[in-house]
Amino acid sequence: MWLRSLKTLPCLEAFTKFSRSPWLLQACYFSDVSYKKTKLAPLQERRMIDRFRLRAKGGDGGNGCCSFRRSRHDRRGRPDGGNGGRGGDVILECSTAVWDLSCLQHHINARRGGNGTPKNMIGSRGADKVVLVPVGTVIHLVEGEIPSSVEKKSSGSLDPWDIPGTLDFDSFDSSQQSPSTSKIGKLEKTDNTSDVSAPSYKPNVKESARTSPVEVFTRFSPSRDKSRTQHEAHDFLKEHRCSDWEDWDGKSNASGSECEEDMEHTELVQYNVAELTEPGQRIIVARGGDGGMGNVRSAKGSKMRKDNDFNVEVSDDDDFASLNIGLPGSEVVFLLELKSIADVGLVGMPNAGKSTLLGALSRAKPTVGHYAFTTLRPNLGNLIYDDISITVADIPGIIRGAHENRGLGHAFLRHIERTKVLAYVVDLAAAIDDKKGIPPWEQLKDLILELESYCEGLSNRPSLVVANKIDEVGTEEVYEELRQRVPGVPIFPVCAVLEEGIPKLKAGLKMLVNGEESSRLKLDGIMTD
């Protein structure tokens, strides 16, 4: 009302008449509306989400229809209710279009199948929900059934008219849980991993045809699973919730009761259920439920059942009701973890010049700063040398005691777990003159110790040493001493800022990646005081 009265004011009327921008008018009427355009933070400054908890639910099956087709000649009518459609699946697809897990939602539900209709028409199949995840995503299972396989993306679209008429009538029991529901529920902590690889649920013929794995990557590594004790699982979850896993259940500050609830999961986490390492790979994480049967089929089904099981008295109504309702889709809870895949991992202390080096080796433009811990998330760069492409990962700096959560901790080391080659970047100028830094050979020792405390054997891979900041005064002598103290491993003196020594370093990296050279830096190969 008051707006109308305002409009009648002569000045506003004139304004309305001559103004051509509607938002200006709105701003005039509703002055509290903000029209400031928000700017997205640059990619480098955005925090990388590399762990994520996700609950997925397959779509429920549609209900079967109960209908009778009556005619002049058939007063009682014939059943002609169609089956309900199958619910959609939740599918994770590996893609290069996403680089971390920040675009995911914590709850993902596939669409429900359509209900059956008269004239024996089946309901439509529920739409699948395809979620894109980055290359290098590892799936850890918290609750639900383990997805059976990872498959390559099929070129053909899924069958939209998946008829749920493949229920096994002979073995069907109304008290029995549906195939889909039997998959729901908490997994028992099991030592027998073969149980995991052979789920009790046998998909029907259509499903198995559709999901037949082209390339199975599902990894059940018993050694690793066993080595992860309950204590480790506890730490894992605690770390996720309390430190950098803000997105655990979508809340940064979990309340006490929630914490307790989450702790229940600690016994149930199964690690490395599957890995998505190639673009186009897909895995069905939650299956849609089968549709209920229309009265055409259920009449047939109940008759068959009565013939087989004549001692049990079941009323037609009860029987039909149980068959008619669509089955619920399966539900699973996953932890997704991203492990970047790179050929070379740059490892070094803060301020050693890793980001500068990555910029010199590739076209990447990571943030460089003269203070420690400039790099807060792993950066990837692509090095092209002699027509071969090498991916280089720069991870945040690691300090002595990182395994005790000092600095940024060592959780980032997961990003170099899969690298073929390690390049240890040391700062030659850290301890010269009156600087109180760590000498390069000590830096190497600390780095190896931290790598090993994160994961045993992580440092045991082809490696070289990059002696950075050779341009600084007095570093020549330090470099000579480094060569004597660390024999048997190629050391490349470089000045990352001026890009000096970079071509030789590129050649060295290429030889290691190609397997032409296989020197490894070991703790006993470093002579310290």
d(CA 490, CA 487): 8
CB of 359 to ligand GTP, least distance (A): 8
Burial 10-39 (b: 16+ CB within 10 A, else e): eebeeeeeeeeeeeeeeeeeeeeeeeeeee
Closer to ligand GTP by CB, 44 or 182: give it.
Answer: 44
DSSP 246-310: TTGGG-SS--HHHHHHHHGGGGT-EEEEEEE-STTEEEEEEPPPPPPPPHHHHHHHHHHHHHH-T
According to CB under 6 A, which residues from 367 to 426 bind ligand GTP?
Answer: 368-370, 372-375, 396-397
**Minimum CB–partner distance for residue 478 and ligand GTP (Å):** 13
CB of 354 to ligand GTP, least distance (A): 4
* Amino acid at the residue 3: L
User: Whole-number minimum distance, CB 453 to ligand GTP, in Å?
Assistant: 19
Closest contact distance (angstroms) between CB of 408 and ligand GTP is 9
129 binds ligand GTP (CB under 6 A): no
Burial of 401 (0-12, 13-18, 19+ CB in 10 A): middle
Token look-up 């048997």 returns 488
Asked if 179 is part of the footprint of ligand GTP (rule: CB under 6 A), the reply reads: no
From 156-164, 188-196, 263-271, 465-473, give the range in contact with ligand GTP by CB under 6 A: 465-473
Q: Which of 67, 137, 351, 459 binds ligand GTP (CB under 6 A)?
A: 351
Q: Which two tokens stand for residue 43?
A: 């990619």
Regarding 475 and contact with ligand GTP (CB under 6 A), the answer is: no
Residue with smaller CB distance to ligand GTP, 92 or 465: 465
Residues 320 to 349: which contact ligand GTP by CB under 6 A? 348
Tokens of 456: 């045993």
SS3 200: coil
Q: Give the one residue of 112, 183, 240, 469 binding ligand GTP; rule: CB under 6 A.
A: 469
Q: Minimum CB separation from ligand GTP for residue 348, in Å? A: 5
- What minimum distance in Å lies between the beta carbon of 415 and ligand GTP? 13
Chosen residue from 195, 239, 417, 471 binding ligand GTP by CB under 6 A: 471
Pick from 137, 149, 266, 356 the residue near ligand GTP by CB under 6 A: 356
Indicate the Cα dihedral angle 180, 185, 189, 190, nearest 10°. -20
Q: Is 458 a binder of ligand GTP (CB under 6 A)?
A: no
Instruction: Please give the backbone phi and psi of residue 141, each rounded to the nearest 5 degrees, phi first.
Output: -95, 130
What is the biggest distance separating any 2 CA atoms in the chain, rounded to whole angstroms?
Answer: 108
For residue 42, what is the DSSP state? P
CB of 366 to ligand GTP, least distance (A): 7
Name the minimum Å distance from CB 483 to ligand GTP.
18
432 binds ligand GTP (CB under 6 A): no
Phi, psi of 422 (to 5 degrees): -115, 135
Give the whole-angstrom CA distance, residue 273 versus residue 355: 33
The answer to whether residue 354 forms part of the interface with ligand GTP (CB under 6 A) is yes
Residue 59 DSSP label: P
Output 299 or 467, the one with its CB closest to ligand GTP. 467
Per CB under 6 A, which of residues 479..498 are in contact with ligand GTP? 495-497
The Cα–Cα gap between 522 and 513 comes to 18
Q: Toward ligand GTP, which CB reaches closer, 181 or 374?
A: 374
Nearest distance from residue 468's CB to ligand GTP, in Å? 5
The tokens describing 79, both together, are 């059943």
Strand partners, 143: 333
Specify the residue, 249 or 472, whose C-beta has the smaller distance to ligand GTP. 472
DSSP E strands, 460-524 = 463-468, 491-493
Residue selected from 350, 439, 440, 508 as contacting ligand GTP according to rule CB under 6 A: 350
Question: Quick check: 273 binds ligand GTP (CB under 6 A)?
Answer: no
Closest distance of CB 246 from ligand GTP, Å: 21
Q: Least Å distance between CB 519 and ligand GTP?
A: 23
| HEC letters along 409-469 | CCHHHHHHCCCCEEEEEEECCCCCCCCCCCCHHHHHHHHHHHHHHHCCCCCCCCEEEEEEC
The H-or-E segment that residue 476 falls in is helix 475-485
Closest distance to ligand GTP from the beta carbon of 26 (Å): 46
Closest CA to 218 of 144, 273, 283: 273
Among 266, 355, 419, 443, interactor with ligand GTP by CB under 6 A: 355
Spatial CA neighbour of 68 closest among 232, 299, 284, 229: 299
Note whether 279 binds ligand GTP by CB under 6 A. Answer: no
Residues 288-327 that bind ligand GTP (CB under 6 A): none
Pull the structure tokens for residue 260: 């307790």
Task: State which residue, 150 or 448, has the beta carbon closest to ligand GTP.
Answer: 448
Residue 284 and residue 58: Cα distance in Å, rounded?
9
Residue (of 360, 402, 412, 361) closest to 385 by Cα position: 361
Q: Rule CB under 6 A: is residue 502 a binding residue for ligand GTP?
A: no
- Residue among 350 and 439 whose Cβ is closer to ligand GTP: 350
Number of residues that bind ligand GTP (CB under 6 A): 24
Which amino acid does the sequence have at 114?
Answer: G
**Per-residue binder mask for ligand GTP (CB under 6 A), 68-97, x = binder:** ------------------------------
Residues near ligand GTP (CB under 6 A)? 348, 350-356, 368-370, 372-375, 396-397, 468-469, 471-472, 495-497
